[in-house]
Structure 1
Amino acid sequence: MLLATSCLVYEGLLPEIEGCSISGNMLLTRSNYGTDSSATIIDDVSCSNNSTRIWNNPYSGQIRLQGGTYSSYGRLEVYCNGQWGTVCDDTFDATDARVACRQLGYSDYNSYSGNLAGSSSQPIWLDRVYCSSSDSCLAYCESCPSSEYHNCRHSEDVALGCEFDTSRTDSTNTLSTCQY
C-alpha cells in the first residue's frame, strides 16, 4: 500500500505540526492512503512520512477519522478529557457531517452512517449532536462531557466520509477556533 504524507497546516500554527516546515503562509492538504487519488494542494510546505501524529498534543474538541480505507473516511472520533472517544449516530445528520468534514479541512461530506464499528475500550463522548449550518466546529454543537454518559453502543458510532473540492481554496477553520 502506497503512503503519501502531507499535512494540514493552519496559518500561524506550524509549531503544533510534527514533521512539517513551511516558508510561506499557505495551508491545505491531508494524508492520502492506498489508492485514494484526492487532490492535494501544497505551497511551500515540506513534510516527512515518518511522523505518526499530526499534532503533538491533541486538544479537547479535536476530531479525526479512524479505521477507514482512506484518510477521508472512517469512524469519527473526538478528543475529550485526555482520551479519544467516539460519536454516537443518534440525531447525527447531514448538517453535523458537513460541520465535521469542514473542521477536518474538507469542503463537504459525501456519506455518513453508523456502520463502522469502534473500539470497545473507547468511551463514547458525544451523543445527540445538533449543529447548525453556521457552525464551523463540532465544539460549537456539543461540548465534551465531564464523564461518559449516553445510551449508545459502539455499533452506533458515526462513520463519516468527507470530500475535497479542488476548486475551493479557502479555509475558515483554524486549530484555535475548534477547542472546547
Structure 2
Amino acid sequence: MENGAYQKQSAPYGQGSGHIVLDDVNCIGSETFIGFCNHQGYMHHNCGHVSVELVGGSSSKEGRVVVRRGNTEGTVCDDNWDNNDARVVCRMLGYHGTARAVALARFGQGSGQIWMDEVKCTGSETSLAKCPFIGYGINDCSHSEDAGVICQ
C-alpha cells in the first residue's frame, strides 16, 4: 500500500455491527470519497462481521480455529478442511508463509456453537467468510471434529 496506508484484516480494531455497506472496494488512490472507488454496489456483499483467532496451540501461529461472529464464538468443523482453508485463516491473521490444515480437534475441543462446516476455500479469499460453506450454524459435526491450522 502506498502513502502510509495499511490494510488490516480479521477485525483487528474490533468487529463492526449493522449493515455492511461496501465490499470488494478497489481504489486507485486519488479518490476523495471511498464511494467514488470501484465497488460492487452499495449493500452488495458476500461477507459478515467475522473474525478468527487460534487457541490451544503452543504458539500464536497454531491452534483450533475460533470464529467470532457478532458476540458469539464458535468453531469450524473439519469436514473438507484442507490447506486452502488454512491458508485463508493464516492470511487473515497476518501470516503469509505456508499453512497446514489439521483436523479431529488436534488442538483440543471447543464448546458451544459450531459456526462453519463444509468450508471450501480456493486459498485466495481474504476472509473465511468469503469461502463457500453451508451456512452459519448449520453442521453435522461435534467438537471432536474441530478444525485447526498451523501457520508459518
Same fold flag (TM > 0.5): yes
Counterpart of 1:118, as a letter, is: Q
Alpha-carbon distance in 1 for matches of 2:7, 2:88: 19
The 5-angstrom pairing of residues 1-180 of structure 1 reads 55=12, 57-59=14-16, 60-114=49-103, 115-120=106-111, 122-142=112-132, 145=135, 148-163=137-152
How many residue pairs get aligned? The number is 115
Matches of 1:91 and 1:141, distance apart in 2: 12
User: In the alignment, is the contact (CA less than 8 A) between 2:66 and 2:74 conserved in 1?
Assistant: yes
2:128 & 2:99 partners in 1: Cα distance? 17
Q: Compute the displacement of 1:136 (Å).
A: 2.0
In 1, the alpha carbon distance for the partners of 2:86 and 2:114 equals: 17
Structure 2, gaps ≥5 residues long:
17-48
Normalising by the residue count of structure 2, what TM-score does the alignment of the two structures yield? Answer: 0.63
What are the Cα deviations for residues 145-172 of structure 1, in whole angstroms up to 9, with x where unaligned?
A: 45x2211111111111111xxxxxxxxx
Over the aligned positions, Cα root-mean-square deviation in angstroms equals: 2.8
Identify the range of structure 1 (98-107 vs 136-145) with the bigger mean alpha-carbon deviation: 136-145
Q: CA deviation at 1:58?
A: 3.2
Q: Quick one: percent identity of the two aligned structures? A: 36
- Could you tell me how far 1:98 is from its partner in structure 2? 0.9
- Letter matched to residue 75 of structure 1: R
Residue 62 to residue 125, structure 1, CA distance change in 2 (3 Å): same
Task: Supply the AA of the counterpart residue of 1:151.
Answer: D
Q: Structure 1 unaligned segments of length 5 or more: list them.
A: 1-9, 12-23, 29-53, 164-180
Alpha-carbon distance in structure 2 between the residues aligned to 1:116 and 1:101 = 16
SS in 1 for 2:86: helix
**For the Cα contact (< 8 Å) 2:98–2:151, is it kept in 1?**
yes
Distance 2:150 2:100 in 1: 5
Cα 1:134–1:162 change in 2 (3 A) is same
Contact 2:85 2:119 in 1 (8 A): yes
For 2:83 and 2:66, how far apart are their aligned partners in 1? Answer: 17
